[in-house]
Amino acid sequence: MILPKTNRLTPDQLATVTAIVAEFGCTIQPIVGAVRTIYAIVGDERDELMINRLEGLDYVERIDRIQSPFKLMDKRSDLSSHRITIGGVTLGEQLFVIAGACTIDPKNPNLFYETAQAVKEAGAHALRGGVWKPRTNPYSFQGDTKSLDILMEASRRTGLPVDTEVMEEAHIKLALDAGVTTLQVGARNALNYSLLRAIGRAIDKRPAAVLLKRSIHMGPLSEFISAAEYIAAFGNPNVILCPRGTTPTLDGYRNHPDESITPLLKEKTWAPVVVDPSHSVGKAVYVPSAALAAVAYGADGLCIEAHVEPNKGIGDDPKQALTPEVLKKTITQAKQLWALMRGSSPK
Ligand code: PEP
Ligand code: MN
Chain segment 19-46, per-residue pLDDT in tens: 999 999 999 999 988 888 999 998 888 8
Angle at 117 between CA 115 and CA 122, to 5 degrees: 90
> If you average pLDDT over residues 130-142, what whole number do you get?
94
How far is Cα 345 from Cα 223, in angstroms, rounded to an integer? 36
List Cβ neighbours of 88 (8 Å cut-off, separation of 6 or more): none
| Closest C-alpha residue for ligand 1 atom 1 | 102
Q: Does domain 2-65 have CATH number 3.30.43?
A: no
CB 296 within 8 A of CB 91: no
How far is Cα 115 from Cα 21, in angstroms, rounded to an integer? 52
What is the pLDDT at residue 294?
98
| Closest C-alpha residue for ligand 1 atom 3 | 102
How far is Cα 321 from Cα 164, in angstroms, rounded to an integer? 16
User: Which of 165, 166, 191, 255 for mutating ligand 1's site (highest number of atoms within 8 Å of CB)?
Assistant: 165
Ligand 1 centroid to Cα of residue 238, in Å, is: 19
How far is Cα 253 from Cα 13, in angstroms, rounded to an integer? 55
Ligand 1 proximal residues by C-beta, below 6 Å: 102, 130, 134, 165, 186-188, 213, 244, 279, 316
Ligand 1 centroid to Cα of residue 321, in Å, is: 12
Domain positions in the chain: 2-65, 85-342
> If you average pLDDT over residues 232-248, what whole number do you get?
95
Ligand 1 atom closest to Cα of residue 276: 9
What is the pLDDT at residue 131?
98
SS3 content of the chain, % helix, strand, coil (to 5): 40, 20, 40
Among 91, 61, 141, 81, which Cα is nearest to 313's?
Answer: 141
Ligand 1 centroid to Cα of residue 276, in Å, is: 9
Q: How does pLDDT run across 52-76, given as a tens digit for each residue?
A: 999 999 999 999 887 788 989 999 9
User: Which of 183, 254, 276, 281 for mutating ligand 1's site (highest number of atoms within 8 Å of CB)?
Assistant: 276
Ligand 1 atom closest to Cα of residue 316: 3
| Closest C-alpha residue for ligand 1 atom 4 | 186
> If you average pLDDT over residues 76-82, what whole number do you get?
90
> If you average pLDDT over residues 235-251, what whole number do you get?
94
Q: How far is CA 266 from CA 147, 184, 210, 215, 225, in A?
A: 35, 20, 18, 18, 11
What is the pLDDT at residue 303?
99
User: Which of 213, 254, 280, 317 for mutating ligand 1's site (highest number of atoms within 8 Å of CB)?
Assistant: 213
What's the whole-number average pLDDT of the chain?
Answer: 95
CB 194 within 8 A of CB 200: no
Angle at 21 between CA 20 and CA 24, to 5 degrees: 105
Ligand closest to the CA atom of residue 133? 1
Q: Which residues surround ligand 2, an ion (CB under 5 A)?
A: 102, 316
With bands split at pLDDT 50, 70 and 90, how would you rate the model's confidence at 269?
A: very high
Q: Is the pLDDT of residue 260 over 80?
A: yes
Q: Is the pLDDT of residue 112 over 90?
A: yes
Q: Is the pLDDT of residue 175 over 80?
A: yes
Q: How far is CA 185 from CA 20, 182, 254, 335, 344, in A?
A: 35, 10, 19, 25, 32
What is the pLDDT at residue 15?
98
Ligand 1 centroid to Cα of residue 122, in Å, is: 22
Amino acid type, 174:
L
What is the pLDDT at residue 150?
98
| Closest C-alpha residue for ligand 1 atom 10 | 187
Ligand 1 atom closest to Cα of residue 186: 8
Among 209, 142, 201, which Cα is nearest to 180's?
Answer: 209
CATH superfamily of 85-342: Aldolase class I (3.20.20.70)
What is the pLDDT at residue 300?
98
How far is Cα 315 from Cα 323, in angstroms, rounded to an integer? 15
Q: Is the pLDDT of residue 302 over 80?
A: yes
- The whole-angstrom distance between residue 212's C-alpha and the CA centroid of its chain comes to 4
Q: Is the pLDDT of residue 329 over 80?
A: yes
CB 245 within 8 A of CB 261: no
Ligand closest to the CA atom of residue 316? 2
Ligand 1 centroid to Cα of residue 279, in Å, is: 7
How far is Cα 99 from Cα 154, in angstroms, rounded to an integer? 13
Among 239, 251, 244, 194, which Cα is nearest to 217's?
Answer: 244
What is the pLDDT at residue 181?
97
Amino acid type, 311:
N
CB 96 within 8 A of CB 86: yes
| Closest C-alpha residue for ligand 1 atom 6 | 186
How far is Cα 262 from Cα 123, in angstroms, rounded to an integer? 23
How far is Cα 160 from Cα 124, in angstroms, rounded to an integer? 9
What is the pLDDT at residue 21?
96
How far is Cα 129 from Cα 148, in angstroms, rounded to an integer? 9
